[in-house]
Structure 1
Amino acid sequence: MGAEWAWVVMAAMAATPEAEVVSPLVKVRPGASLQGTRQARVSVARGECEGVQVVLPGSVRQLKVPSLFLEGPGAPLRAALWREGYLDVAVPSNAQGAKGPWPDPLLPVSAPVEHPELPAVLYVEVCAPESQEPGTYRGKLRARLDSREHVSVPFTVEVQPFVLPATASLPTSFGISQLSIARGHGLNAESSEAKALLRAYARMLLEHRVSAHGMSMSPPPVRFEDGRAVVDWREYDAEMAPFLDGSLLPSGARFTTTDLRDNKKAHTEAERVAYYRAFVEHFRKKDWPTQLFFYAKDEPKPQDVPLVLTQSRRVREAGGARVLITTPMEGELPAAADILAPTLNCFFPRPGPATCRAIHTVTELRKQLRSGTQVWWYQSCNSHGCNGGASTEAAQERAYSGWASYMVDHSAMLNRAMGPLAFVNGVDGELYFDTVFAYNTKKDPWKDLFEFGGNGDGTFFYPGTPERLGDSRHQPVPSLRLKHLRDGLEDFEYLRLLARLGDEKFARDAARQLVRSGWDIRQDAREWAQVRQVVTARLRQRWSTSEFAKRSGRHTPESTP
C-alpha cells in the first residue's frame, strides 16, 4: 500500500465499540457472531507468511490506514494489507454452502467499495524472510474512521527460529493461461501488457508456494535437421527462466514442476520424440531442478486410451520427462503413467454412493504401480457435487459433502486441508486444472464464479482492472482461498520438518486430529489453532537441539534440513 494514507469510502454497518481481531480460519459473513480479541498475536516461521483479520467497528464511511511496521530484534517487518470483498452466492455449492455474500477477493485498501453495507474487514499478512532474526516484534495497526474515530490494534508477532524452505517441498501444478488472463482484463492476448500480467499472476502463485502449468502455452519454435530438433529457446527462456532458476523472488523460490509444451511443427513420430528430447536436454543444460512433465489428455475416456498410450510412448522414448495421466487405478493407463493422478475421492472409501469408480489408498496404489511412479491427486467437482445446490437425496448429499474443497462458500478449514492431507497420506504432488477459468466465460467473475456445480471451481483470482480498482494499472486480485491454500502448504512444511527432525509419529498424530480422511475434516477453527500451537512448540524444542541448527547456525536459511 505504501507509506501514504489510503482512502476508502464505506457506508454504515452495525456499530461495535472496537475493532475485533479474528482468526484467518473464520470467514466473516454479515450477521456472524464473532469471537474475536482486541489485539493480534501472530506466530510465523522464517520463510513463512501468516495472516489475521481485523473486523472494523461501527458505521464507517471513510477509512484511513497507514502502513504497519513491526519492530523487534531484527529488521522491521512490514505487514501487507488488503480489504476483503464479497462474492454474492446465488446457488450454494452443496448443503455445506449457503446463499448470500461470502468474503473472497482481497482488494487493495484504496479500491472503491461496491457494497458498503457489508462488514469492513482488513486481511493483514506478515511475512518473515528466511534471514529474519527470531524473536518478538510489536507494532500497532492504526485506522481513522469517518475523520474522527480512531482505531488502534496492537500487533505482536513471534518469529520462530526454525525455517521453512523457499521452494515448496510438495510438488504442485496449477493451471494458468495468458489467453484467459487477457480475456478477463480485456487485453490483446499477444500484447506486452498481457505478457507482463501473466508474469504478475504466476509470480503471485509462486509467492503462495504454488507452481503453474500452461502459462503462455506457446511452444518454442523448432525446425528439424537430419532428425535433430533445432529449437529457438529465447522467448521460452524469457518467460520461464525466472520461475525455474530462482531469480524471480528474493527468497529464491522456484517452480517445483512445469509442463512440456507440445509443438504442432513436429509432424512425424520421430520429430515429436526429437523435440521432446531437445526440451529435456535444454533443462539439463540450464541445470533447472524443476520436474518436467507431459500432461497427457485430461481425464481420458475409453476412446482416448490409444492416444494416451501413444503420448506416453513418445515421451518415454525421448527420456527425462514424466508422463502425467489423470485416471483412477484401472485398465491400461496406470502402466503408461510416470505420475498417476486420480481425483481426491479415489483415495478414501466411504459408505454410500460411490464418487469414484476405483478406490485405492496410496499404499495400495504403490503396491500395484511400476516402481518409481509418483502418485498425485487433484480436486474435482466430486468434492462438492457437480450439479450445485443441496441434493434432494440424503445419501447422495452425504457422499459429496465434507471433502477438502476450494469453494468460496465452504469453510476455510476445507480450503486449507489439502496440505495436511498430503502429509498424512504420503502423496507426491497435487494437480489443479486452472486458476483463472472464470475469465473465459461470458460472466463477470466478480459477480459469478459458479462453474461445475461449485462457486470458485477453477478460479483463485479476480481480474483487477483499472475500472474495478480505481487504479491506473491492471493487476491480479488474489482470493482468501489462495491464502488458505498457501497456509495448507505451509502446514505441510511444518509437519514435514518435524518428521525430519525425528518426530514423525508426533507430526502424523497432530495432522490426523484435523484431517482424518479426505471427507472427514475438523471444522473448528480453534482446534486447528491449538494443533498449530502444539506443533510449533514441538518444532521449537526439536530445532533447538537439532544438528541442523548447531551445524548451520540458527539464523541462516541453510539450516533447514
Structure 2
Amino acid sequence: MGVGWAWAVAAALSAAPGGVQVVSPLVKVRPDATPKGAKEARLSAARGECEGTQLVLPQGVTRVTMKPLALKGPGAPLTVDAWREAYLDVKTPSNGEGRTGPWPDALVPLSAPANPRHPTVVYVEVCVPAKQAPGTYTGSLSAAVDGKELPAVPFSVEVQPFELPATSSLPNSFGISLYSIAKGHGIPAESPEAKALLREYGKALLEHRVSAHGMGMDPPPVKFQDGRAVLDWTAYDAEMAPFLDGSVLPSGARFTTVDVRDNRKASTDAEKSAYYRAFQKHFADKGWKAQLFFYAKDEPKPADFPLVKAQSKRVRDAGADIPVLVTTSLNPALLGSVDILTPIINCFYPREGPQTCHHVANAATARTKLGSRAKVWWYQSCMAHGCTGGPPEDKALDKAYSDWASYMVDHPAPLNRAMGPLAFESGVDGELYFDTVFAYNTKKDVWTDLFEFGGNGDGTLFYPGTPAKLGGTEHQPVVSLRLKHIRDGLEDYEYLRLLTSLGDGAFAKAAAKRLAKSGYEISRDPAEWEAVRKEVTEHIVKRQSAEQAKRSGRRTSGGTP
C-alpha cells in the first residue's frame, strides 16, 4: 500500500522560500494549493514494492539537478530515482469536481526543460528488490535549483519483512498499440525504432503491475491445411515472449492476461475455431501462464447481440480454454455467451439520483447468474465523470457522474488510486481499461490537451517522450503520475490479499472499506490512507511472525515443518 508514513499534510500553504517540503504522493500539488509537508522523507515498503513521495521545491525554477543517492542499511544499497512533474493546463474540467488550470501529471527527466510558472515538484521513488534484507535504510537527498544547492533532505525507507509478488495477483488488461505509439512519436510503425519503443511502453506498464492487450496488433500469419491452422509465430513470439516468460524485467514479472489477435484470413467458422485452437496450443506448448481471452464486441447494443453470440460459439467450438470477454452489464440476453462479464464500475453500486447503469449488480450477484467458469471484471468509462464534455448544468446529473474512482488528471489522487482497494472489497476478478495512448491518435498536442470523452486523460496514461520535447536523441515513454497511483492501488490490493491469506480477512475487508466504502464513497484524506497502510502493515508483520513461530515450534518439537 504505497503511501509513506509519518508526515502530516497541512492545509494549503506555500512552501517556505528556499526550502524543500516532503509531501504525500496522494496530494496533487497545484499553484494555488501547495501543501506544507515535512522536512524529511520516511517511507515504508514491502520487498518487491515501489514507494514514492514528492519533494516540493521553490517555484520559478528552470533547471533541477539531484545527486545520485543510494540508501544504506542491513542489505545492498537501495537506489533512489527521481523525475520532475510536468503540468497539464486543463481548460475544461472533467466534471464539477474538476478544475481548470495546471495539474501535475507527466513525470519527465530532471534534465527536461522546466516551466518556471508552474510549481517545482520532484517525484522520488524507491523500488525494493524481492530479496532485500528487511530493516531501515537511510541517506540524504541533495538537490539544486538553477545551480543553487538546497538543504539536504534526510531520507529513510523501512523495508518490511514480507514480499509482494512481482506479477499482479489481480488479472488486468490495459490497451496499448504500436500504431498509436508510432503516430504519437512521429516515427514509422514498421521501423525497428517503433518496435523497440513498444517494448519500452510494455515494460513501463509491467513495472506498474499492468498487463496489456493490443501491443503490436498484428496477428500471426496463418495457413489452413486439412482443417488445421498453421501459424507462423516468429514475429509474435519475438514481441510477446519476454512479457510472458518473465524475462523482460529483472523481477520476473509477467503479463497476467493476453488477448487473442483475430486474423481476417480465418474466414469461415471452422477456420476461426481452428485458429483459436492453435493459439491456445501454442501458449500451452510454451508454458505461458497468462490467461488468453477473446475480446468480443465492445459495449454491444441489442442489435449486436447476435454477433456476440456467434463470436462466442466460434471460440467455444475451438474447445480451448479461451474465455470470451464482453464489456456489458448483467444482461439476460447475453447469458451463456459471456465468460468474462465486464461492466462499468457504476454497475456495481446502487446510487440515488439519475441512473448511470440500468443493470446494477455486485460481483457476487452477477456470478450467480453466470456459468461456473465465468469471471466478473470491471472497467472505468466516461460514465465515471460524464461523457458530454465538462460539468453538466444539471446539478443532480453532475453529482451522479462525480466522486467515482477515476483516472482523470483533474481529479484527486485518491480517486486515481482507489480501484485496487475497491477490487479487493468488491471481489471482482480483474480490471480492463480500453487504452493508455488513445490521445496519440488525435491531431492534438498530447502535452497540452488530453480532453477526450468528456474527461482529461480518459484513455491516455502516457506522454510521448520525443527528443524535441525532452532533449537528447532517444524516444521514450513518459509515464503519468496517474499510472503511479494505479500501481499503488494494485499494491494496496496485494497487501489486503496477503493479510487475508494470513487469516485476517475481516480486518483486511474493514481496512478496504475505510479507504473506499463504495465506488463513489472514497476517502480523500491522505492521512487516512497512511493510517490504514500502517495498521495493515503491522497486522501482516504480526500474523507472519506468529505463523513463523508456529512453524519453528513444530520443527523443534519434532513435528512436520
**TM-score, with length taken from structure 1:** 0.94
RMSD after superposition: 1.4
1:112 CA displacement = 1.1
Q: Tell me which residue corresponds to 1:559.
A: none
Does 1:165 find its partner at 2:165? yes
Q: Tell me which residue corresponds to 1:554.
A: none
Is the deviation greater in 513-522 or in 327-336? 327-336
Q: Tell me which residue corresponds to 2:273.
A: 273
What CA distance in whole angstroms lies between the structure 2 residues aligned with 1:150 and 1:50?
23
Does 1:343 find its partner at 2:315? no
What CA distance in whole angstroms lies between the structure 1 residues aligned with 2:422 and 2:244?
27
Q: Tell me which residue corresponds to 1:80.
A: 81
What CA distance in whole angstroms lies between the structure 2 residues aligned with 1:17 and 1:122?
15
Alpha-carbon spacing, 1:229–1:547, altered in 2? closer, same or farther (3 Å)? farther
Give 3-state SS (helix, strand or coil) of 2:159's partner: strand
Does 1:53 find its partner at 2:51? no
What CA distance in whole angstroms lies between the structure 2 residues aligned with 1:213 and 1:382?
22
1:540 CA displacement = 1.1
1:184 CA displacement = 0.1
Q: Tell me which residue corresponds to 1:469.
A: 470
1:147 CA displacement = 2.9
Kindly indicate whether the alpha-carbon contact (under 8 Å) linking 1:543 and 1:549 is maintained by their aligned counterparts in 2.
Answer: no
What CA distance in whole angstroms lies between the structure 1 residues aligned with 2:500 and 2:477?
36
1:15 CA displacement = 5.8
1:503 CA displacement = 0.2
What CA distance in whole angstroms lies between the structure 2 residues aligned with 1:522 and 1:63?
33
1:64 CA displacement = 2.5
Does 1:499 find its partner at 2:500? yes
What CA distance in whole angstroms lies between the structure 2 residues aligned with 1:16 and 1:510?
38
1:148 CA displacement = 3.7
Kindly indicate whether the alpha-carbon contact (under 8 Å) linking 2:64 and 2:111 is maintained by their aligned counterparts in 1.
Answer: no
Q: Tell me which residue corresponds to 1:396.
A: 397
What CA distance in whole angstroms lies between the structure 1 residues aligned with 2:283 and 2:187?
32
What CA distance in whole angstroms lies between the structure 1 residues aligned with 2:65 and 2:368?
60
What CA distance in whole angstroms lies between the structure 2 residues aligned with 1:133 and 1:171?
29
Gaps of 5+ in 1: 1-12, 552-561
What CA distance in whole angstroms lies between the structure 1 residues aligned with 2:276 and 2:238?
20
Give 3-state SS (helix, strand or coil) of 1:283's partner: helix
Q: Tell me which residue corresponds to 1:247.
A: 247
Does 1:284 find its partner at 2:274? no
Does 1:184 find its partner at 2:147? no
Q: Tell me which residue corresponds to 2:525.
A: 524
Give 3-state SS (helix, strand or coil) of 1:546's partner: helix
What CA distance in whole angstroms lies between the structure 2 residues aligned with 1:84 and 1:513?
29
1:46 CA displacement = 0.2
Q: Tell me which residue corresponds to 2:513.
A: 512
Kindly indicate whether the alpha-carbon contact (under 8 Å) linking 2:19 and 2:150 is maintained by their aligned counterparts in 1.
Answer: no
Give 3-state SS (helix, strand or coil) of 2:170's partner: coil
Kindly indicate whether the alpha-carbon contact (under 8 Å) linking 2:335 and 2:369 is maintained by their aligned counterparts in 1.
Answer: no
What CA distance in whole angstroms lies between the structure 1 residues aligned with 2:459 and 2:62?
35
Kindly indicate whether the alpha-carbon contact (under 8 Å) linking 2:83 and 2:110 is maintained by their aligned counterparts in 1.
Answer: yes
What CA distance in whole angstroms lies between the structure 2 residues aligned with 1:549 and 1:477?
47
| Structure 1 segment 364-443 matched on structure 2, within 5 A | 364-443=365-444
1:14 CA displacement = 7.7
Give 3-state SS (helix, strand or coil) of 1:213's partner: strand
Amino acid at match of 1:151: P
Q: Tell me which residue corresponds to 2:154.
A: 154
Give 3-state SS (helix, strand or coil) of 2:408's partner: coil
Q: Tell me which residue corresponds to 2:10.
A: none
Kindly indicate whether the alpha-carbon contact (under 8 Å) linking 1:383 and 1:400 is maintained by their aligned counterparts in 2.
Answer: yes
Alpha-carbon spacing, 1:222–1:394, altered in 2? closer, same or farther (3 Å)? same
What CA distance in whole angstroms lies between the structure 1 residues aligned with 2:279 and 2:222?
11
Kindly indicate whether the alpha-carbon contact (under 8 Å) linking 1:15 and 1:58 is maintained by their aligned counterparts in 2.
Answer: no
Kindly indicate whether the alpha-carbon contact (under 8 Å) linking 1:343 and 1:378 is maintained by their aligned counterparts in 2.
Answer: yes
Amino acid at match of 1:454: G
Q: Tell me which residue corresponds to 2:175.
A: 175
Q: Tell me which residue corresponds to 2:130.
A: 130
What CA distance in whole angstroms lies between the structure 1 residues aligned with 2:59 and 2:82?
20
Q: Tell me which residue corresponds to 2:236.
A: 236
1:390 CA displacement = 1.9
Q: Tell me which residue corresponds to 2:17.
A: 16
Amino acid at match of 1:82: W
| Structure 1 segment 305-324 matched on structure 2, within 5 A | 305-318=305-318, 319-324=320-325
Kindly indicate whether the alpha-carbon contact (under 8 Å) linking 2:78 and 2:128 is maintained by their aligned counterparts in 1.
Answer: yes
Gaps of 5+ in 2: 1-13, 553-561
Q: Tell me which residue corresponds to 1:201.
A: 201
Give 3-state SS (helix, strand or coil) of 2:332's partner: coil
Alpha-carbon spacing, 1:219–1:61, altered in 2? closer, same or farther (3 Å)? closer
Give 3-state SS (helix, strand or coil) of 1:335's partner: coil
Alpha-carbon spacing, 1:286–1:324, altered in 2? closer, same or farther (3 Å)? same
Is the deviation greater in 146-155 or in 276-285? 146-155
Amino acid at match of 2:253: A
Give 3-state SS (helix, strand or coil) of 2:247's partner: coil
Give 3-state SS (helix, strand or coil) of 1:292's partner: strand
Give 3-state SS (helix, strand or coil) of 1:102's partner: strand
Aligned length: 538
